[in-house]
Structure 1
Amino acid sequence: MATGGFSIYKGSDLIYDFSCSKCKENDFNAEAQHFCLECEHYLCDKCVKLHNGYHKKHNVYGRGDTEKWVVSSIDRCHQHGKELEVHCDDHQELCCSVCVALNHRLCNSISHLDNLAKGFLKKAEFKELAAKVDTMRSRLIELKKARTTVFNDSYKNIVAEIKALRNEIDTILDQIEKATVEQLDNMVGNLENDVKDDVDKCVMMNDQLKNLMEKINQMIGQCKETNAYIGCRIMTAKLTQANNLIGEVQRKSKEEIQFEADTTIESFLKSLNTLGLVEVKDYKDCMYQVVRSMQYNIKIKQDRRLCSIAGICELSSGLIVIADFSNCKVKLLNNTFQVIDHCDLSAPPFAMCHIAASEVAVAVDDNKKAHKVQFIKVSQRGGLKKVRKFTTDHLCISIAYHQDQLYVGSKTALYQYTMDGDVVKKIYENMAGDVTVARCDVSPDGERIYVLNFDKHKLISLDKCGQELAYSQLHSLSGLCVSLSGHVYVCSVASNTVLQVDSESTKKLAKVASETDGINEPWSLEFIDSTSSLVVGGYDNDNIVVLQLEKI
């Protein structure tokens, strides 16, 4: 740490671990001896007197509390306490001078933050940050709720079954019932410890996202572009951590507690220690069946043709967005599946994916020159609004989203794009046919990418690098979706069926729905996790089908 405290010369090259923020604004160089938490300013002995005169109630920390300076400062390296100055492009890390000296001396590309941050407040990456944080926090809250209540229903049902069986036999079962319930309680207690750990992690991550976003929002009004850029980088890393946490929890097996009664219990009652076997059942690839089918008309007076629904997305608010290929429209449905707004497109929409709390990306193509991805969001007034777009040099007939990356299919290849429209790489290509990449989707953890090969009647699963892992042979596949729980659904336009496929994409698990459930030339699917419903859109059909599902 430098000493001396203050330099009277402008542009002094003395290096301090913390420099006075107010002096720096006037091109003076002074060592900070204090830090104001509310202002987030470093202050020398002279400036702190002026500050305290104006802000008597602010929390000001001295040199004895420097650990609080670093924690409170978004522009400081949390490891070394020094100001963040550069970005290592090789490692994608924000660095202070000590970081560079210790860990990044041999790196090829180091960029100054001041240069990277120019105009950053106007870029889509920063403008979309709040929505991404809201989406991630919503997912964390939903995950916390799901993990908290996962065993409640099973537990209640099993206890009721135990008591019903207990009432059919005599009082000799008093001790046996007690032993059985204790066995169940012990198992649930062990499982709840795992659930509590997941819940605590979700709560902590949610709080961190909230607090960091509040700091970033404070900077917007102050036009601190460099700090905003740093905050965004840190938030992006934190979002990755949050997404990894969600993936880690979601990859855990979906467990339920089961009770299997012993049907011979009456004759062997005195030789038994419990009323039955309590066990945990793994529902990694649990199957679903239709319990109710409903149809809703989505035609509006502006439509000139029969509707053909090429894409369906549920927003975080519960609203549904559908892409009408035949009428070149995107339509907004309320939670009763009534059309409440629409917007026109310049060419037919081939596919659509959900990218943020209230925003979707649509693959738009006229099979000639118009190849583009159009972003559409629901405004605060509840209407659809086209916000931005980017064009490609290839066809756009399928699209999926995962962790700020778009996956766009072009009939025979799958490309990875940034949200700004920059090509990252060509992930997969299959030239052995006219339409070998008809649809695509990504697993919740991002480890698998699913592709429909229309020509060869295959559902193919790829790894993140585009290598084929497995496939299943299914006839005339036309639609594909992956639920938040990782369940994979496809539909067949030839057989008018909806199928559930295992997450490895190696075999068919079940025929979920058919013509008797209202399925007619299905083209698109969306699974609504909150209601266990499957929404199916068809070709040349003014009705969508909503299938209420339950576990088999």
Structure 2
Amino acid sequence: MATGGASFHKGSDLIHDYSCSTCEENDLNTEAQHFCPQCEHYLCDKCVKLHGGYFKKHVVYGRGDIQKWADFSMDICYQHGNKLEVHCDDHQELCCSVCVALNHRLCSSISHLPDLARGFLETAEFKQLPAVVDKMRSRLDELKNVRTKDQDSLIDSYKNIIAEVKALRKNINTILDQLERKTVEQLDRMMKDLEKSIKDDLETCAQMDHQLKTMIEKLQQITGKNKETSSYIGYIKCQSKLSEATCFVQEIRHNDVMKLKSDESVVPFLRNLKNLGDIEKFQGYKTQSSAQYSVKIKEDNNVCDIECICELPGGEVVIADFANSRVKLLNKKYRVTDHYDFPAGPLHLCHITNNDVAVAFINSEVHFLTLTRGKLQAVRKFTTDHETCSIAHIQSQLFVSSNDAIYLYTIKGTFVKKIYEAYGFGLQASKCAVSTDGERFYVTNMDDSKLITLDKTGQVISTLEDSDLKDPTGLCVSPSGHVFVCWWEPGTVLQVDKEGRQRLATVAGKADGLCKPQSVWFSEQTSTLLVGNLNTDTLTVLKLC
């Protein structure tokens, strides 16, 4: 490669990645070492000195900033800095003369750019380009906002995990403290027992010693005519006491000490732990593609209003169309194949077992439908003493929510108890879902723009709210425990963690065709998210990855 100071006639075979623009005008072939974005000129070492004398305020980039050279001109080759002249049809690439010489000499079809561009300004593709660019810029802005939120969520998740680790450590410390206390209590009891035993033995020794001393002294002091008889009696008593002392001495345990026989499994177990838990990197689902499917039928008198969605084991989809007072059956291609009409609009529904679904109505009724030979048929119903805004099922239990409470019923419709009650303005058209293990309830509170997570006793575990998120509506929990929640504003579906504490991902938004989403279902069979928007005749189907 030639140095910046060496010049050759333009006809030279020497190829530079960037050639000096000024030298080219004088039919010289010189390698450029500098670039001026304001002039859009590439300059060699000699020409840059002249350029600096005329344009002292221009910022010139050297070879150290070569990544900035090619981005300034639309018709310049990003690789070699020369003017783009042809298009390689084999590789679908714009090329300069250097590109052709180095990489495309063997290509079968190379077109001259002026020939390809003739009449292009009048084509629909070119005229639509600004709108396409604007749409993509909007999506990039939305993505930037989402990623900014993800950054905040990442920080929150970090803080939450640190708090969980400290809580776990505190819990372990509490357990160890309890084990220590119980062990010390056991030691204290044993110490007290042994101390009492030794004290009793010492007292017994002293008493026997004193008795034996006294007895032998008195025996030796016997005199008089009955000395022999009295001595015999003293002998017998002394022998008895000696026998008692002998037994006592033989029964006494010597060297009473205590030893700790530790649980040998504890320390190795703790040593074998690599950490207090594995940190999982979780990236939530994101939309790969989206499509719209019409769910309107000729019998509909109003614009459809998809209040709820659920899937049957065979892959069929059931939707509640509130505006037209009917439940509709969709096949795997999301075409309406059957419907069942009601006097009032269904607000919510859920899958029960097999091909059965339960449907909730605001008029305090719960109806059961079943799919038989491709047709929806009514089975039975029961009535409640409260409004029925939402319904969920797990383990033969029905959880029915009103505007201000959640109630537990048996599958046959027998009232069991009230699980949760909201105060103040209530939950306002709440929707509820239950985790697959029945341990958690998720409730959307439109009045306060919150997602509330409860344990199975109705105690609040967590609340999720964000100043940018308003009016949470529909939600669903997949068989694997993924939780998805619709928010009217800004028109998104979020994936949240199982505890309902934080968002994991913004799965879809306005750019994916959502507008006030109010019902959602995730099909794990096909990794597809189904979304019903407010007052629209179409079902949004999102392929996730």
TM-score normalised over the length of structure 1? 0.47
> Larger Rg: 1 or 2?
2
